[in-house]
Amino acid sequence: MTNPTAAMLVIGDEILSGRTRDANMHHLAQALGPIGIDLREVRVVSDDAQAIVTAVQALAAGFDHVFTSGGIGPTHDDITADCIAAAFDVPIDVRDDARALLQAHYDASGKELNEARLRMARIPDGATLIDNPVSIAPGFTLQNVHVMAGVPLVFQAMVASVLPLLTGGTPLHSRSLPLLQGEGDVAARLTAFAARYSDLSVGSYPFQKDGIYGTNLVVRGGDVARLDAAFDALKQVFKA
């Protein structure tokens, strides 16, 4: 059986402008691998309604799971929830359970649940809430799309809430061999090795540290015994 697949949609002008560096893709990739869900694609779109709707529809049709980050806060440019509703052609409004969470949170903190904050309780019909133990305002899942905040700490908490509910596959393992050679020096031998172990993922990644240049050779796969045997063979190929 093949593993379930996933895509990520990162939403926000601040990402595309370079003002904010995205950390959520890295976290999601590290979280999905150990449970056997393969992250296959990541897209970044601006705070543009049509761009978000188009991307959500395409990714939801092409992958088992879609994870979005960004655009579910209280300000005018937080339009992700509306776009998800539009993508699936369902109504959206303030939902009682989401409102109750926010009301209790702001009552406890002595702040008003004003109109702006109430925007975070607008949930598309048919969605289930994603728990947010950090700042309370929930994310939500609609069909195969999991909608989460862009703030890394909150995104990570929401991922932790969602993952136990998903069915994974075979966890992906990796082995890495660092070499003090350039990619051009290892390419021919690595190509022959990759053809020999075509059932595994074989890659090369150049590095530079403290003036030293080299290449990391990485082998990935789900079968640990097969992976270890391939890695032993890789070390023999580059023993010299």
Give the pLDDT confidence score for residue 240 in this predicted structure.
57
- Summarised one tens digit per residue, pLDDT across range 37-77 is 999 999 999 999 999 999 999 999 999 999 999 999 999 99
- Residue range 172-196: mean pLDDT, rounded: 95
| 179 has pLDDT over 90 | yes
- Summarised one tens digit per residue, pLDDT across range 193-233 is 999 999 999 999 999 988 889 999 999 999 999 999 999 99
* CA–CA distance, 81 with 10 (Å, rounded to integer): 14
Q: Among residues of the chain, what percentage have pLDDT more than 70?
A: 99
Longest CA span, the chain:
69
| 1 has pLDDT over 70 | no
In order of their start, the domains of the chain are: 5-165 (3.40.980.10), 173-237 (3.30.70)
- Summarised one tens digit per residue, pLDDT across range 93-105 is 999 999 999 999 9
pLDDT mean across residues, the chain: 96
What is the dihedral angle through the alpha carbons of 23, 117, 66, 42, rounded to the nearest 10 degrees?
Answer: -30
* CA–CA distance, 11 with 177 (Å, rounded to integer): 35
Query: Would you mind telling me the total number of residues written for the chain in this entry?
Result: 240
Q: Among residues of the chain, what percentage have pLDDT more than 90?
A: 96
